[in-house]
Amino acid sequence: KYRSHTEVMLTRGAEHKYLGMMMILKDGKFRVDITKKVKDILEEFPLKFNDNDRKIMTPVGQDMFEKGDDKYLEKEGRELFHRVVAQNLFISKQGRQDIQPIIAVLCTRVQTPTEKDWSRLIRYMQWLHKTKDNTITFDAGKGLNTFEWYIDASFAVHPDF
């Protein structure tokens, strides 16, 4: 009911579940696992992929920012496109920060997606299928006073650079 509250539950231990994430503390490492949510998204997507599909090494091609003059998707296709992008936006903020660049681009296309945008989404979903078991792990092996973060950066990826 509106304005009703439930009892706050306390959990203790090395594993905690919150908003579809499994947070696991083991051997000085903290892991955020959202593989169940990723698999749910892949299961709901109308196209199915298998491990023998073509090898996708990145979630996007070089045409990530190209708008194109393709035909717009019909209403049903637009709604599916919007839903899938929204689901992936959620997981990009929870435990799959590696997908944020393509999801940010696809978010700009949800109002008027084209057939080209749909093909980008399919390529991304194939890559997501390939990486569906990826998790994010934080390691405190060097102590709590030392925090190292490694990132992979791409420069001059926009066509106007």
Q: Which of 141, 137, 126, 138 is nearest to 47 (CA)?
A: 126
Per-residue pLDDT of 3-41, as tens digits, reads 777 787 788 888 988 888 899 988 888 889 999 999 999
pLDDT band at 148 (very low <50, low <70, confident <90, very high): low
Q: What residues contact residue 76 under an 8 Å CB cut-off, 6+ apart?
A: none
Q: What is the pTM of this model?
A: 0.79
Structure-token pair, residue 114: 């084209």
Q: What residues contact residue 134 under an 8 Å CB cut-off, 6+ apart?
A: 35, 96, 98
